Amino acid sequence: MLRFFTSRELSDRLSIPPAKWKRWSREFLPPDPLGGLQSGVARQFSVDEALTVLMGGHLVAELKASIPAARQILSDLQSFLQNIGFFANSRIDRRFSSSSTDPILEYTIRIYRDRRSASGAARFLYVLRGNLSGTSEEINGRKVCTKRYIEEFILPSPASLPQRLSHRTLNLSALADFFATAVGVDKGHFPILNGRR
């Protein structure tokens, strides 16, 4: 799928102010090899570049991460996101294949800041949750939910999580679904969405 978008297209389709989109693209992508402010050539974004910028912007705007923290999170998760099929046409690790008997319907990542880091630099720990199924029923006037899911650490995997003061939850499946719908890209190109109903 060779589709490229301009900043204006993405800004319009994703309902993000143009100045904010351009700022995020400068923060979360390497410099454009074909253009720049002085060249007069407008940057063209591949599907995966646009999704990376959206994810970085989501970390900053919605999950209240700083720009350096969001960059670190994107860097830490890059190869893992490829393995679970977050990006268009990515080859997924067979552990996450939707052809298994229990396809994963939705992926989320819980992001913990590792407060034991001696250097003071932002360091994060990540826990993947892959929802397999869920049911709910009413018992004594209360809604009771039962969920089945896989859960695992994403590298680096510590022996245990640090003191759980708080975490940020990033819903990868919902983010990919929103992106594909908003920009008009066939959802079949995103393996992470294959299990969604």
Residue 91 has pLDDT above 80, yes or no: no
Reported confidence tier of residue 149, pLDDT bands at 50, 70, 90: confident
Residue 197 has pLDDT above 50, yes or no: no
pLDDT digits (tens, 9 = 90+) for 6-29: 999 999 999 999 999 999 999 999
Tokens of 29: 């992508």
What value does the mean pLDDT take over residues 38-60?
88
Residue 158 has pLDDT above 70, yes or no: no
Quote the crossing angle between the two packed helices 67-83 and 47-61, to the nearest 10°: 130
Cα radius of gyration (the chain): 18
pTM score of the predicted model: 0.84
Look-up of token digits 């949750």: 129
Residue 94 has pLDDT above 60, yes or no: yes
pLDDT for position 192: 85
CB atoms within 10 A of CB 29: 16
Mean pLDDT, the chain, whole residue set: 84
Residue 133: which domain range? 4-193
Q: Are 8 and 18 in contact (CB under 8 A)?
A: yes
pLDDT digits (tens, 9 = 90+) for 97-107: 655 566 788 89
The domain tally of the chain equals: 1
pLDDT for position 36: 57
